């Protein structure tokens, strides 16, 4: 039996967890991605000063094409996982499984967050 792609399984979780307006909000998805990327950088030793310097560097340059940047994210995440000994697929599967068990908590957090803010609370 063919396994459904990880992206599709995440979309199924998003559909179960969030109303359409929140699920389809690309700005919200971008903010949550950036939050998680920063948390990963912090967890692997990147300082706040280094993160701020990289933000200034990235925003001093022209914006790239989203599909190219997704590829870059995937390549660099796989590289980081390789050097830190993290199984990227296993970590993703475990987090998705954990999220299925926390739908009510995630919904409450979503409902209490400020609207039109990149901050999660």
Distance CA 23, CA 57 (A): 30
What digits encode the pLDDT tens for the residues 22-58?
888 899 899 999 999 999 999 999 999 999 999 999 9
Q: Is residue 23 part of a domain?
A: yes
Asked if residue 18 has pLDDT above 70, the reply is yes
Number of domains in the chain: 1
| The two structure tokens encoding residue 69 | 């940047």
Q: Is residue 117 part of a domain?
A: no
Round to the nearest angstrom and report the end-to-end CA distance of the chain. Answer: 41
Domain extent, residue 39, equals 6-60+67-79+87-112
Residue 84 pLDDT level (bands cut at 50, 70, 90): very high
For residue 14, what are the CA distances in angstroms to 45, 81, 106?
30, 25, 11
Q: Is residue 1 part of a domain?
A: no
Q: Is residue 121 part of a domain?
A: no
Q: Is residue 120 part of a domain?
A: no
- Report DSSP state, residue 5: P
Q: Model's pTM, two decimal places?
A: 0.86
Q: Is residue 119 part of a domain?
A: no
Q: Is residue 16 part of a domain?
A: yes
Summary mean pLDDT of the chain: 92
Going by C-alpha positions, the residue among 69, 62, 60, 57 that lies closest to residue 30 is: 69
């Amino acid at each position: 039996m063919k396994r459904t792609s990880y992206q599709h399984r995440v979309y199924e979780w998003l559909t179960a967890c969030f109303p359409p307006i929140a699920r389809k909000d690309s700005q919200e998805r971008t903010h949550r991605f950036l939050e998680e990327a920063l948390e990963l950088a912090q967890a692997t030793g990147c300082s706040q000063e280094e993160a701020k310097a990289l933000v200034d560097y990235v925003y001093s340059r022209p914006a790239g094409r989203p599909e190219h940047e997704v590829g870059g994210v995937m390549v660099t995440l796989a590289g980081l996982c390789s050097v830190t000994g993290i199984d990227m697929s296993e970590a993703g599967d475990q987090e998705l499984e954990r999220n299925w068990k926390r739908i009510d908590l995630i919904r409450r957090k979503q409902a209490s967050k400020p609207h039109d803010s990149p901050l999660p609370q």
